[in-house]
Structure 1
Amino acid sequence: MKYITILFLMMSLTGCSQEKLQEYKSEKGGFAFSYNDLWEKQLMNGHTVFLTKGDKEDKTNFRNNLNVIVQDLSQNPMSLEDYHNLTLQQMQQALGKNTVTSDKGVTIGGVNAKELFYTIPKDISKGNFLDLKLKQAYLIKNNKAYLITYTAKTKDFEKYLQSANTFFETFKLLN
């Protein structure tokens, strides 16, 4: 009887730890990644975004999300380090202060990248109606910058971070 109970417990834990992943490919953007069933794909303003399922939309209608933006740098080519410095400068200008809590070099899909964690504090005078926390990684290849961003209400950030990390860990360039 002990053996059956232990076997059942092991099978239950194994089943819980496996995620059913789906792959998303953007032929136009030239990238792919995997995501689990906590996220739903939606088209917004011509861009595909992934929103957390089950989020209760509040009066702000904000939902935690993941997205990838591809920027063409062919008119103004730059290194990853130059792009990183420009990003930090623009954040400082937009937010009026440095809200970066982590800044490091990483590898995404075999390509050197930068990873930032930062906050956007609620400041109605700047149009920020919510306290937000973001994880953003970016890489440059063939004069294109690929920005992968997870944005969540600060109170929800940790709740979805492990699931969001799947996007970052499985991101790959197709060309």
Structure 2
Amino acid sequence: MKNTKLTGIFMLLISISVCGQTKKWNNLKKVNYTINYPNEWELNESGQMGSEFILLSPLSSNNDNFKENINLIIQDLSAYNLDLNKYVEISENQIKTLITEGKIITSERVNKNGKEFQKVIYTGKQGIFNLQYEQYYWVKNNKAFILTLTCKQSEYSGYKSIGEQILNSFEFKTN
């Protein structure tokens, strides 16, 4: 009897994990990078707010008034001669001075597949929203690549996992 119950529980867990893996993901391929995102997220490549793209989550309910999102901004640094360390220093100062109630929670250097980037998590206000951001900074070929997850602060823990899956799927293409 115990074995039957354990087998049943084991089969249920397997079916749940298999079903959970059936979500479709899209792949955005550009000249110098790729990124994957869930099929139900909307891709906006209009260049809005200077972005390369914005990925918008679906609204979670009729009362939801904010689409959590991920965007990429690429800044030309050729006139400034900045490395990643200096870029991080400038960016952290801007978070503290330009973002209303900007507060850095963590800032750490990460090495993924031989590529170094800075991961910064911070909070701040924008209009009526208390937001939480998770940003990844790379400096490559005199350009800064800033990949940002933006969530309502109260929703961040619910979007952290899927957001980091998207952020971590970002890869530079080698030419």
Question: TM-score, normalised on structure 2?
Answer: 0.82
Q: Which position in structure 1 is the counterpart of 2:99?
A: 95
SS at the partner of 1:131?
A: strand
Counterparts of 1:5-154 in structure 2 under 5 Å?
5=8, 8-18=11-21, 19-27=23-31, 30-46=32-48, 47-56=52-61, 62-95=66-99, 99-108=103-112, 110-121=114-125, 128-154=127-153
CA distance in 1, matches of 2:27, 2:114: 18
Which residue of 2 is the match for residue 125 of structure 1?
Answer: none
Deviation at 1:95, TM superposition (A): 3.1
* CA drift at 1:76: 1.4
SS at match of 1:93: helix
* Counterpart residue type for residue 172 of structure 1: E
Deviations 1:136-169 (A, max 9, x none): 0101111111101000111111111100111221
1:63: how far off?
1.4
Larger RCO, structures 1/2 (Cα 8 Å, 6+ apart): 1
Structure 2: runs of 5 or more not aligned: none
Per the alignment, residue 163 of structure 2 pairs with 164
Distance 2:166 2:74 in 1: 15
Letter in 2 for 1:32: T
Number of aligned pairs? 167
Return the offset for 1:170: 1.5
Letter aligned with residue 119 of structure 1: T
Q: Distance in 2 between matches of 1:107 and 1:23?
A: 23
Query: Matched residue of 1:74: which SS?
Result: coil
Farther-moved stretch of structure 1 (154-163 vs 96-105): 96-105
Deviation at 1:11, TM superposition (A): 3.6
Unaligned runs of 5+ in 1: 123-127
For residue 10 of structure 1, report the CA deviation from its aligned partner: 4.2
TM-score (norm 1): 0.82
Counterpart of 1:48, as a letter, is F
Q: 1:35 to 1:71 in 2, by over 3 A?
A: same
